[in-house]
Amino acid sequence: MTGSFAALAPVIPTPHIEYGQLSPMLLVFGAAIVGVLVEAFAPRSLRRSLHLALTLGSLAGAFVLTIVIATSSTLFAGGSAGHIAAMGAVAVDRPTLFIQGTILVLAFISVLLIAESSHDVSAFAAQAAAVPGSPEEREGLLAGISHTEVYPLTLFAIGGMLLFPASNDLLTMFVALEVLSLPLYLLSGLARRRRLLSQEAAMKYFLLGAFSSAFFLFGIAMLYGFSGSVKLGAIAAAASGNTASSVLLYAGIALIGVGLLFKIGAVPFQSWKPDVYQGSPTPVTALMASCTLVSAFGALLRVFYVAFGQLTWDWRPAMWAVAIVTMLGGAIIAITQTDVKRLLAYSSIAQAGYILTGVIAATTAGLSSSMFYLAAYGIATIGAFAIVTLIRDPGGEAGHLSSWAGLGKRSPLVAGTFAFFLIAFAGIPLTSGFSSKFAVFQAAAASGGLPLVIIGVISSAIIAFPYVRVIVLMFFSEPAPDGPIVVRPSAYTSLAVGVGVLATLVLGFIPEPLLRLAHDAAAQLFVR
């Protein structure tokens, strides 16, 4: 009797998981789980040191594994563009590895800022004690994050960021979206000295993020109804040969696009970005402005190049409109900002529009230039936010631009470094900003997007005004007698700023090596 029941039972095949190809993500997720155990069982006095070693070590190890996979002779043997791992759920190809490597480098630098900010006994304590005022006012100079659980939350978010652009089916992509988003909602509310503003930012981010996830999920349902599958390759095959259910197809493209455009902060889905950037702890803002943007654009590129690659004439007009309003909207509204973090938020919105011009090209050059732009902009952004963490007043970080008046006279090195990052954002030659803008605009013009390039140049000229205004304010205004102090950066912040300056200079003078690496990666996008 038992044998007959066993004969009728279906045989479930064992899943085939390529652990070696997934090792960078598995290492980060594994370190995040260990971080939770450290938070639960390790003595409080040892937690920060253990978390820091675990977080930085896992990110460095994951980056090494990414390089090993990218240079693997077996994965890319015989001219193969890549491989589909984990039962078809994850694509391991050179664009994925390039984006993952970029995320890991940016995440490593961001964690250096988080490490300094999360230290209860800050390196700035001696300076704070020397500043006149009450103990409460002096404590404001030690603005930061006082929670060690920030480390496992950061690792979970980074793990989701690594999986998001590598997803080969929409359900895996949705899971990755939630894995990266949920920790960020919590991290946004951890500012120590501005709890109300920080928690308000976290709530806005959560509510609007939930709406965008719902749009993304509805888009998955529409595309499944159209193609009978959630795999990107199956959707592409159905779209190229089936026109009977075009309503479901176009509805799915639109809804998926809403979910992805929200994550990059494109207009008209950008309303969360200024509030969240302003209210979040600045190191967390640096993580979001760099790593999350890279991951979201990586997912956007994979979906629109793989699943909708045969439909470029259908989605490009809508993407044109989004890119135009994003470039102009971010640049124009940036002029009115009086808070430095909100200014950088609207700058990020405009930068997303410039990257979209590369996406719209729908060519290998468009893909490679977009990836180069993401790497160059991400590292300069972390450097800029690292400078923001150094300007303090009794209320915490001095965000209002009036506090930056005369900074060039009080601390010329800090002001000059921040001015250099602003010049790079404006796209001035001999900086990475110019090289990256030139690359995406060239790819867009070559694919017939010359009007888009002209609008991009106009937007760049507009957004240069608020950058120049800040530079003039820092170097040509008198500092207030009771103005904020510039704290001495620790080794962590100094390293983050130094790497940002060096990379921005090198990618401005000699961008060819990274551009060539991005082009070689883009030429091997794996489509199945």
Q: What confidence tens digit (pLDDT) does each residue in 215-272 have?
A: 999 999 999 988 888 898 888 888 887 655 688 889 999 999 999 999 999 988 888 8
The pLDDT of 99-117, averaged and rounded, is 90
What is the C-alpha to C-alpha distance for residues 153 and 281, in angstroms, rounded to an integer? Answer: 14
- State how far the alpha carbon of 488 is from the alpha carbons of 254, 285, 390, in Å: 48, 21, 7
Pairing of strands 82-85, 391-393: unpaired
pLDDT value, residue 75 = 64
The pLDDT of 405-417, averaged and rounded, is 87
For residue 101, is pLDDT > 90? Answer: yes
Tokens 């999986």 sit on residue: 163
| H/E element, 92 | strand 90-93
> 258 has which bridge partners?
none
Classified as helix, coil or strand, 419 is helix
Classified as helix, coil or strand, 326 is helix
Higher pLDDT, 106 or 526: 106
Whole-structure pTM value: 0.90
Using 50, 70 and 90 to split pLDDT, how confident is the model at 81? low
Q: Are 391 and 339 in contact (CB under 8 A)?
A: no
What is the C-alpha to C-alpha distance for residues 162 and 165, in angstroms, rounded to an integer? Answer: 7
What is the C-alpha to C-alpha distance for residues 371 and 375, in angstroms, rounded to an integer? Answer: 6
pLDDT value, residue 467 = 93
456-512, pLDDT tens digit by residue? Answer: 999 999 999 999 999 999 888 887 776 677 778 788 888 999 999 999 999 999 999
